[in-house]
Structures are given as C-alpha cells and as structure tokens.
Amino acid sequence: MGLDRFKKIGINTAKDITNVTKDQFDKIKVDYDHDKNIRERKEMLEALDDVLYEKYKQIQQENDYFELIKGRVTIVKEYDGKDISEEKLNDELIQRSTEIFETQRIRKHFSEDVQRKILKKQNYNCNVCNSFLTTMDFDHIDGDRSNNSMDNCQALCSRCHRMKSAEENSNRK
C-alpha cells in the first residue's frame, strides 16, 4: 500500500497511524479493495487473451486440415471415379504443394509473439473490415515478405486478405 494513500487522508507520520479514525480506515480499505479488483480484472483479461490465442491456433490447425482434405477431394475428383491408392494420393498432394510453394516467393512468417501482440492490439478484429476474426491471415502491410517487424504486420480476415492480395497482384502487372 503506497504512502500517498495515507497522506491523502491526513496520515503523514507513524504517530498519526495510532490515531486513525474508523472513517479513515474504511477509506484506506476501499482504495485497497479497488486496486485489488483492478489487478484481478487485469489478470482475468490476460488469461482470456491466452485462451483466445489458443483458440485461434486451434482454428488455424483445423483450417490447415480442411485445406488438406479439400486438396485430397480435388485430386480424387480429377481421377474421375478411378481407384487411386493412398500412396498415389499422398504423392500427388506433395507434388502439388511443392509446385505451389516453388511458384511463390519464399516468405518468412511472423513470430508467435508478433502474432499474439497484433491480435491483442487489434482486439481480435480484422484491421480492414473490423469484423471479429474467427479465421485470420497475418499480412505483410508493405508486401515485403521478409520484413517481419511488428510495424509491418496486420491481422486480416481471409476475405480482406484475398482482396488486398488481388489488388497488389493486379498492380504488379
């Protein structure tokens, strides 16, 4: 408990403490309880941030799994009902993923720490349309995929990220 709190109610020395009235004591207790509530709320918000971030990671993993399933379905459809072995299917997936990766510029991803800070800074909302992010992409604002500074990062919903990327790609042509 800070000494300023005592001075506010007229207690300046140790001797003054012995003469504390019930009203003064109640005032000190109310101030202390208020500060304690603020600390508890802050701890709860930090815990909630951790829960939201873990949920975000879970959703991203589910998204990745969904994309993998979508890729498998696409390949199976292309084989037009013909039997395809699991091994052949996996080989085809790996080949297509490699081709996609090689045609794109090599990119570095934002660190988990930067991602977490950006989500918190944006209150888990898209930086463009301000909708709550259930799935999100971390975007390099200046388009430089090797610049992973926090100032160059924004969290976008998938729709806004696709629109921004399409605009950037049309400007490059």
Higher pLDDT, 123 or 31: 123
pTM: 0.44
Q: Which long-range contacts (CB under 8 A, 24 or more apart) does 104-110 make?
A: 105/145, 106/145, 107/140, 107/145, 107/146, 108/145, 108/146, 108/148, 109/138, 109/148, 110/138, 110/148, 110/153
Domain assignment present for residue 52? The answer is no
- Packing angle of the helix pair 22-78, 112-121 (nearest 10 deg): 120
Q: How far apart are CA 6 and CA 31, in angstroms?
A: 10
Write down the pLDDT at residue 104.
47
Domain assignment present for residue 119? The answer is yes
Write down the pLDDT at residue 99.
58
Higher pLDDT, 170 or 20: 170
Q: How far apart are CA 35 and CA 28, in angstroms?
A: 11
| Chain segment 90-106, per-residue pLDDT in tens | 777 777 666 555 544 44
Domain assignment present for residue 150? The answer is yes
Domain assignment present for residue 85? The answer is no
Task: Quote the domain boundaries for residue 139.
Answer: 112-172
Number of domains in the chain: 1
Query: What string of DSSP letters covers 80-93?
Result: TT----HHHHHHHH
Domain assignment present for residue 153? The answer is yes
Domain assignment present for residue 148? The answer is yes
| Strand residues in 55-135 grouped as ranges (E) | none
The answer, yes or no, to whether residue 54 has pLDDT greater than 90, is: no
Write down the pLDDT at residue 146.
81
Which of 16-30, 93-107, 116-130 ranks highest by mean pLDDT? 116-130
Domain assignment present for residue 147? The answer is yes
Domain assignment present for residue 145? The answer is yes
